Amino acid sequence: MTGETVECFNCGHANPAWAQVCRNCGVPLRPGVARTAPTGRFPTDRDSIISLTAAFGTIAAAIVVGLILANINPSEPTIGHGSASASGTSAPVATFGPEPSPAAVATPTPAPTPVPLSGTLAFGTGIDGSGNLIGKTDTFAPRGTFAHLVTNSAAFGTDKIGERVVKIAADGKETQVVDPASNTIGVSPGAKQAAIGPIATDQLRNALGGPGKYRMEVYLGKKKIAQGVFTLTGG
């Protein structure tokens, strides 16, 4: 110990002569009091323990205050939990499933395009001396006459044509009454027209099976070249 300073027996720090405790470690510096060096790693005297306790208390208080502040100001919500809406509830998260299979759409079957016929068929009550049709009509009453004229766009190229007759019922059902293979008409191969008739309507009605609506079709071999519809009235 010098005249101006007192050396701390605990840490060796030089303190003023008037100091009561070490300014470095806090050990009391009392003249005349026996100084016992600490035997452990930490000081065991009352003043040092008080100083250390105060320091630890300050640190613990700081930790508690930090935890309280953390609870008052929570961190932002984690991405994926949904963002808070104005009402305080989490916004719903949209979910997407597999795309529905499109419903099968039936493709309409196109109607067959009718094959254009190369000739025409007209009906009347007779044929004049030049082979022209007279009294053109498609409705024939009893005790009358029936005639028809076939006109093709080119020469027939054969000596006969076939005629098929179909009866058309009120419900649209069709029944063949004359087969073209057995009902043939003689024509000139180089001609484009053929006049057939006249015959009595009563005879025709009996041959076809009574009054009704009929369709006549004209064939060159198996090729249909003309057709027309006529009606037989009466009982």
Give 59's pLDDT tier (boundaries 50, 70, 90): confident
Tell me what pLDDT residue 41 has: 53
Confidence category of residue 43, pLDDT binned at 50, 70, 90:
low
Burial class, 152, CB count within 10 angstroms (exposed 0-12 / middle 13-18 / buried 19+): buried
CATH 2.60.40 boundaries in the chain: 119-232
Range 89-97 average pLDDT: 57
Q: Is the distance from CB of 208 to CB of 167 less than 8 angstroms?
A: yes
Which residue has tokens 């249909």? 224
pLDDT(49) > 70? no
Instruction: Please give the full DSSP string across 99-123, using - where no structure is assigned.
Output: PPPPPP-PPPPPPPPPPPPSEEEEE
> Quick check: pTM over 0.95?
no
pLDDT (0 to 100) of residue 140:
97
Residues 14-28: what's their mean pLDDT? 81
Residue 47: CB atoms within 10 A of its CB come to 15
Share of the chain above pLDDT 90, in %: 49
**In this structure, are residues 31 and 21 in contact, taking their beta carbons and an 8 Å threshold?**
no
Measured distance CA(184)–CA(167) in Å, rounded: 19
CATH number of 119-232: 2.60.40
Judging by DSSP bridges, how do beta strands 139-140 and 223-232 pair with one another? Answer: parallel
**What is the DSSP annotation of 47-83?**
HHHHHHHHHHHHHHHHHHHHHHHHHHSPPPPPTTS--
In angstroms, the Cα distances linking 55 to 28, 29, 46, 50 are 18, 21, 14, 9
